[in-house]
Chain A
Amino acid sequence: MKKIFLSLPFIAILLCCGCGQKKPEQLKTSELKIGLVFDVGGRGDKSFNDAAYRGLERGKRELGVDFEYIEPGPGADREAALRQLASRDDIGLIFGIGFIFTDDITNMAKEFPHKNFACIDYTVDFKKVIPPNLVALVFKEEEGSFLVGALAALITKTDIIGFVGGMQSPLIKKFEAAYVAGAKYVNPKCLVHIGYAGVTGEAFKNPGKGKELALGQYAKGADIIYHASGVTGLGVFEAAREKQKLAIGVDSDQYHEAPGYILTSMTKVVDNAVYDMIKAMNEGTFQGGRVITFGLKSKGIDYVYNENNKNLIPDDVHAKIEDLRSKIIAGEIIVPYQ
């Protein structure tokens, strides 16, 4: 008898939950919210994740679409975070930020066919079909990395430059390969030192290691280092400050992390990509099952050249880089990605 009394509240809660369930159709698309799960590093990485967050904020400001986000902790279950958001009735579109979501978000899209999903840096596997409610947002980082590699090789005084990657993975290898190719394209005798912070996701959030890797490369004569390593890159900037050398930022314009020491940044308009998807959902034009590619041509990939870093880049160098840009867009230069 006691047991029944104890279980009554739970039964009541269960019943209430049952009554509260609304079918997705009952909410208008304009009332739906956005759910977003961040990559390793989370909000405040001053790079990739923050760019995604800016997209969310812009969606709220300009379209009035509310959002919720989850920052998975260390070793946390990304799939559980996605499912938590996907199973909510008031959330219509779920973002996964980072290539690490590829498998989880594909499974979730199949499990929740009435919800829309979008994944930044989705690893496209041509042998598999992308679910009809999932959009893969892919950036041609190799095009931007090629340009900053060429820029670094033209600016360097020692003919030695460096690269610091986060986790050893095909995605970051793509940055490295194109950076090296860009450097060699304009300056064949330029030497590139390569360093990686690790082989797990944690390698994107180890600034101590990033600093030591960069100090090692600067000590070996490098005077410009490009990083593609999330929060780890903040350590690279610290090393640049300490040694009065230059560094190249990634994903967002990272000038303000070390003013005067950032030659340029290779930017990905993750914010625009996120915003475009929110807009599409809001207008009811969201169409999944496809890959959307952002490159130099659509300005989805670019490098920073503005008032802050103009004095670091001579005009003739800038002209050369712009020339390379048009050649890549015209297809005259094929940028390697591995």
Chain B
Amino acid sequence: MLESVFSIAFFVQSLRISLPYALPALGATFSERSGVINIALEGIMLISAFATTVGTYYSNEPFMGILIGALAGMLTALLHGIISVTFKADQIVSGIAINVLAIGLTKFSCQLIFHSSSNSARIVGLEQWKFLPNIPILDNPFIVGTIILFLMLQVVLFKTTFGLRLRAVGEHPEAADTAGVNVKRMRHLGVLISGALAGLGGAWLAIDQHSFTDGMTAGRGFIALAAMIIGKWTPYGAAGACLLFGFAESLSIQLQSTSHAVQFIQMIPYVLTMIVLAGFIGRATPPAADGIPYEKE
């Protein structure tokens, strides 16, 4: 059994499973660093998965679909931004509303376009597009792209002026405002980035599955939020937490067929989450102004 756990196939599977957690978790990091709680990730992913499917279905170009998926994610995020940043409404309520909207909207549109409210037609995937063929992990353009995004955005968040301003409006918007930073614009940008990244996560689900299925995100957007918290609102931390989730889920898949205590094994990711939350990381402190709309004095 050990060789199956420590094989390359197992490692690649862990990466694949963590991908749809990692992209929205990275997005959530940017949104919350700017001071906006984004629990709409689940809905954004679902809408993007659908948009990707439609885009790929009509263009027959998976990258076109992925682009449309990311744009749809940004558009949905813009809605969240307008409600919670421009109109200063409760960010949690706006997020929940978008999640519920996404379920209905995708089902309805799926019925209109594919004449079934639960499944789309089949679309082309990324089989023809290998980044470095014959090398595991590096052959998948999505995994490579995600790794690059993480490396890049960690630098953007902590080493650039833009990142400093983004963090400033999340920690102390009054001070940032006094220093001449446009708080609302930075927050809108944070939410838009989170929409694009969560959109890519949704796009991956649709492309990997070659179709859209009603409710196919299956709670991944919420798990991404947990990963962001475990990762202490940093890109690398979120990546680590998502790999942990992916590893645990992959482990439960590997062990399932040799053991009958399936319920127990399926518990592993959540038990791991609690252990990590309670033991290893100490206090998880969010950005000081996270979730609080900014009122200009």
Mark A residues whose CB is within 8 Å of B: 41-46, 71, 73-74, 162, 168, 193-196, 198-199, 202, 205-209, 211-213, 215-217, 219-220, 231, 234-235, 238, 242
Contact = CB atoms under 8 A, between A and B. Distances in A.
B257 A220 contact: yes
A213 B253 contact: yes
Contacts, number: 98
B265 to A, nearest CB: 10
Interface in B1-60: 4, 7, 9-10, 13, 16-17, 20
A199 B261 CA distance: 12
A74 B209 contact: no
A41 B119 CA distance: 9
B253 A44 contact: no
B216 interface: yes
A311 B181 CA distance: 70
Nearest to B114: A44
Nearest to B254: A216
Contact of A212 (B116, B253, B263): B253
A208 B13 contact: no
Given A198-B266, A212-B17, A220-B257, A207 B209 contact: yes
B117 A71 contact: yes
B13 A212 contact: yes
B103 interface: yes
A220 B4 CA distance: 8
Nearest to B17: A212
A195 to B, nearest CB: 5
B117 A42 contact: yes
A238 B209 contact: yes
B95 to A, nearest CB: 17
B209 A195 contact: no
A42 B205 contact: no
A208 B116 contact: no
Given A73-B107, A195-B257, A205 B17 contact: no
A205 B218 CA distance: 8
Contact of B103 (A73, A217, A219): A73
B210 interface: yes
Contact of A43 (B4, B118, B250): B118
Interface string B250-265: 1001101110101100
Contacts of A194: 256-257, 260
B116 to A, nearest CB: 3
A196 B256 contact: yes
A205 B213 contact: yes
B218 A231 contact: no
Interface size class of B (residues with CB under 8 A): 35 or more
Contact of A44 (B118, B208, B258): B118
B220 to A, nearest CB: 8
B91 interface: no
Contacts of B218: 202, 205-206, 208-209
B118 A45 contact: yes
B209 A231 contact: no
Contacts of A193: 257-258
8 contacts: A42-B118, A44-B117, A207-B213, A212-B249, A212-B250, A215-B13, A231-B213, A238-B209
A208 B20 CA distance: 10
Contacts of B266: 198-199
Given A42-B117, A43-B116, A219-B9, A238 B262 contact: no
Given A194-B256, A216-B13, A234 B118 contact: no
Nearest to B14: A212
B215 A195 contact: no
A212 B216 CA distance: 14
A217 B16 CA distance: 16
A235 B216 CA distance: 11
B92 to A, nearest CB: 19
A42 to B, nearest CB: 4
Contact of B118 (A196, A199, A231, A238): A231
A46 B253 contact: no
Contact of A74 (B4, B20, B103, B211): B103
Contact of A217 (B209, B213, B257): B257
A296 B114 CA distance: 35
A205 B215 contact: yes
Given A45-B119, A205-B118, A212-B13, A162 B213 contact: no
A195 B257 CA distance: 6
Contact of B208 (A43, A208, A216, A220): A208
Contact of B211 (A219, A220, A234): A234
A162 B213 CA distance: 24
Contacts of A215: 9, 13
A73 B258 CA distance: 34
A216 B252 CA distance: 10
A198 B270 CA distance: 14
A41 B256 CA distance: 24
Nearest to B107: A73
A289 B219 CA distance: 40
A208 B205 contact: yes
B177 interface: no
Contacts of B115: 44
Contact of A196 (B116, B213, B262): B262
A74 B102 CA distance: 12
Nearest to B120: A44
B117 A208 contact: no
A199 B253 contact: no
B12 to A, nearest CB: 9
